Each structure stands twice: as structure tokens, then as C-alpha cells.
Amino acid sequence: MQRIAIDMDEVMADTMAHYLERYNADFGRNLTVKDLHGRYVLEVIDADHRERAREYFEQEDFFANIPVMPGSQDVVRDLTKRYEVFITTAAMDVPCSFSAKYFWLQQHFPFISPSNIVFCGDKSIIAADFLIDDNIRHLRNFRGEGIIYTAPHNVYETAWRRVNNWEDVRRMFLTSGVS
């Protein structure tokens, strides 16, 4: 059975929409996901807001309330019937997120066994056939095939096969099969 590793933030969890909602409310701005195309959020927000806005990621409740990416629950559930699925999140980047991310997964993806949740830093250690991730840092060193999940910061990346949403994931892995 082939193994698929799936990232959380910006793949299963709509982290950027949640971040922008909080940022816009706190600073009276109207930034949208389109404003971020090809750039990371800290490159776009006002310089004098960066320190306070960076603190969002240090608040456990930030990760507890992130919306689920549309379609992800159904597709991940279906993937578990044909593949070994592991959720792989670089939680070492934000250590305060461990508990919130774990409980978020239990709430929204209760069919994923805790033994199939991997909190790590460098995803090159993940032994899987495929990694679905938005971050090229993880795809670069991954030993299997990296699949880039579209997020604002990676829209211009062309080095990997791309999925734009969970219906694309369904087509790639469940409808047409991976080739």
C-alpha cells in the first residue's frame, strides 16, 4: 500500500484566511489572499505591524480555531481507504501549536489515528511515496514525490506537480490514479 503524507497548514487547514481575518480586524486593513500572490504574509503587511502580527503564531488558540479547507475531510477519509495516510506538520516551527493542532485534528479528522500524526521539523525524514505540502522547503528535500498544494506564496512555483484544491487531490489519487 502506498503512503501519502499530508501537511496541515494551508493544505488541510485554511491558516492564511484565518490569519488575514485576525490581522484585518486588529489593524483595520482589508488584505486578501490575492494580495499575497507570490509572497509570504510578512512581506505584505505593514512593517510596524510585523512583530505583533507574528505573535499570532505564538498563541495556541490561533491554531485551535482555523477553518477546515473545503473538501479536505471527505477526500482524506477516502484516501485512507486506498492509501496509508499520515498527517505531517512542521510543528517544531511553532512549538506552542502541538496541543491545538492535535485537538484540531481530533475534532475535524477523527478517523485519523493518533499514530498517523507526525509532528516534526524537517520533513525529509518522512518515509512516504508522496508528500502534499504548500511549502517548497519541505518538498525540496523529500525523498518521494512532492505534490505542491496551491497557496498564495507558491503560485509561481513550477518544479512540482500541483493540486489547487481537494478535488484535484481526489482526481490525482482516487479517480485517475497516480502516474
Which of the following is catalytic: 9, 14, 133, 134?
A: 9
Residue 10: left if φ>0, alpha if ψ -120 to 50, beta else—which one?
left
**Please, which residues bridge with residue 5 across strands?**
86, 131
DSSP-derived secondary structure for 103-156? HHHHHH-TTS-GGGEEE-S-GGG---SEEEES-HHHHHT-SSEEEEEP-GGGTT
Instruction: Report which DSSP code applies to 125.
Output: G
Q: Cα torsion for 91, 174, 146, 149, to the nearest 10°?
A: -60
Terminal Cα distance for the chain, rounded: 15
Q: Residue 67, SS3?
A: coil
Q: Is residue 9 annotated as a catalytic residue, yes or no? A: yes
> Where in the sequence numbering do the catalytic residues fall?
7, 9
